[in-house]
Amino acid sequence: MAKLLLFDTLKGYALRYAWNREKISKRPVLLRYVIPVAAALITTWVVMVPLNFFSMYAPFLAYFGVIFFSACYGGSRSALVASIVSAVCVVVFIRHKHQLHGGGIFSLLIVFFLIQALMITALFAVIEVVQKQSRTSEETFRGIVEKSAEGFLMANQDGVMSYVCLSVQQILGYQPHELLGTPITALIHPDEIKAFNIRFLKILLKDGQSMSFLQRLKNKQGEWQWIEGCVNNMLKNPNIRHIVFNYRNVTERINQTKQQEDFVHMAAHELKTPITALRGYLQLMQLYHLKEGRDKDNEMLDRMNKQTDRLLNLIDEMLNVTRIRAGELLYHFGLFDLNETVRDVVDAFKATATTHHISLVTQPIPPVNGDKDRISQVLTNLIGNAIKYAPDGPDIAVKVTTEGPDVVIKVKDHGIGIPKEQQKKIFDRFYRSESLPKNTYQGLGLGLYIAMDIVKKHHGKMGVESDAGKGAEFWFSLPLNG
């Protein structure tokens, strides 16, 4: 262990001071050529006088040291100068001492020495090329990161920032050095620190884990900015060993979205009041016309009633979406009979959907903890969609079954179906299938988005199994243990 530690220490020292092309290039050019010559001459004197030629191999070992030292100080060119001067010194000052005893062998050693010296020089030249390429790649990457509109930072496993790129100045107003050593949580809105810590712990649990985030961070002026980005666990990557964040300022986008949602919420509220009043007047007119026996007029009023009902449903959907986005959609949780709730919804559709046959299969299940009205809303949406998108497929099957710790409600139709590539998007807000004929199926694309949110609030899951042209089976699950 101690040997490995010593090796790592020496390697780090060599890379920092010796094999460092940047430091070598800053040293005076004259010294990079004078020092190898001086070192070779001093070594020659040491070999000839104090050591007094005690061995045939001693000069070569000493000159290898000179070459290595010269390469570390001045690079491959210094090593080449040291190699040539060392060879000359051996030939001029030392070779004649070995002419009488093994002169031929010593001459052969000189040749081998020169070859090995040139190989060492070539090796250092290769190291320089590799370092140059590595340095170029690093500078290119750093330039891309520093000039990017997105921010980039690295933190240790405790969430303390160890590197922050220059773009943080445009995003949050800080200089990079002002954030070094600062915990990320120091910038996060107090209401969001707990949720952030939970997500951060999940990131730490798995190497290579990646997760997106949307947080409010405080800028240098003390204002809260919406920051969106991605965090990656790269602690076990030997070249990084950090948690890596890339992020961008999306405050303007969030504010625009909030303004749009506020407008939709206000407009929906303002529209709902007169439409509700209009619906009431239509129902009164129906009663008067019914008493007078004006059946034809009643048919027209009935159609008007259905259109006002549809309009009210659309307004309710828009209001629910704005409440979901603001976290204001109300829930009243409690134990209820799910089979009975499903049966009530199915019976209501049977009374109005005369063109479809709706079957129901249930099995005994214990009471479920949830909001009965919200679950009815989810099921109403699924059955309503099944009727809407299966005009020529009269059979709709509703099934309640248990799967492990969950109860699963399924709604199957024989309609137009959903292509595989679109199935992940259909639960998105305002999404309308691209394969639908234009102006054929009306709607805002909000029903499934609302249904998915309701199911998530009940700690359940929701999905679909379908093929284009072969109908669809939507399902959602609720935990039986509440």
What is the per-residue DSSP string for 102-159? THHHHHHHHHHHHHHHHHHHHHHHHHHHHHHHHHHHHHHHHHHHHHSSSEEEEE-TTS
* Max intra-chain CA distance, the chain: 143
The residue type of 47 is V
Predicted confidence band of residue 7 (pLDDT cuts 50, 70, 90): very low
Could you give the CA distance from residue 176 to residue 182 in angstroms, rounded to a whole number? 11
Could you give the CA distance from residue 244 to residue 211 in angstroms, rounded to a whole number? 11
Average pLDDT, the chain: 81
Could you give the CA distance from residue 411 to residue 386 in angstroms, rounded to a whole number? 8
| pLDDT surpasses 50 at 4 | no
DSSP 3-state percent helix, strand, coil across the chain (nearest 5) = 55, 15, 25
Could you give the CA distance from residue 119 to residue 71 in angstroms, rounded to a whole number? 12
Give residue 207's pLDDT: 79
Give the percent of the chain with pLDDT over 90. Answer: 23
Encode pLDDT of 389-448 as tens digits: 887 778 899 999 998 889 999 999 888 888 888 888 888 877 766 555 555 555 667 788
Give residue 352's pLDDT: 78
Give residue 181's pLDDT: 92
CB neighbourhood size of 356 (10 A): 18
Residue whose pair of structure tokens reads 């050591």 in the numeric block: 51
| Overall residue count recorded for the chain in this entry | 482
Going along the chain from its start, the domains and CATH numbers come out as 11-145 (no CATH), 149-249 (3.30.450.20), 256-326 (1.10.287), 334-479 (3.30.565.10)
Average of per-residue pLDDT across 47-54: 66
Give residue 18's pLDDT: 54
Give residue 258's pLDDT: 77
Encode pLDDT of 86-110 as tens digits: 888 888 887 776 665 555 777 788 8
Encode pLDDT of 176-209 as tens digits: 899 999 999 999 999 999 989 988 988 888 877 8
Predicted confidence band of residue 474 (pLDDT cuts 50, 70, 90): very high
Could you give the CA distance from residue 158 to residue 243 in angstroms, rounded to a whole number? 9
Does residue 388 contact residue 350 with C-beta atoms inside 8 Å? no
Least-confidence region, from 259-263, 338-342, 362-366, 424-428: 259-263
Average of per-residue pLDDT across 67-90: 86
Give residue 217's pLDDT: 93
Encode pLDDT of 9-26 as tens digits: 555 555 555 556 667 777
| pLDDT surpasses 90 at 218 | yes
| Selection from 1-10, 71-80, 318-327 with the highest mean pLDDT | 71-80
Average of per-residue pLDDT across 240-257: 87
Give residue 93's pLDDT: 80
Indicate the SS3 state at residue 399.
strand
Predicted confidence band of residue 53 (pLDDT cuts 50, 70, 90): low
Could you give the CA distance from residue 4 to residue 14 in angstroms, rounded to a whole number? 15
Least-confidence region, from 186-190, 219-223, 437-441, 462-466: 437-441
Average of per-residue pLDDT across 25-36: 83
Encode pLDDT of 269-304 as tens digits: 667 777 777 777 777 887 777 777 776 777 777 777
Give residue 15's pLDDT: 53
Q: Which residues pair with 478 in a beta bridge?
A: 407
Residue (of 65, 46, 244) closest to 163 by Cα position? 244
Least-confidence region, from 49-58, 183-192, 257-266: 49-58
| pLDDT surpasses 70 at 321 | yes
Higher pLDDT, 330 or 260: 330
User: Residue 401: enclosing H or E segment and its boundaries?
Assistant: strand 395-403
Encode pLDDT of 131-164 as tens digits: 788 777 777 766 666 667 788 899 999 999 998 8
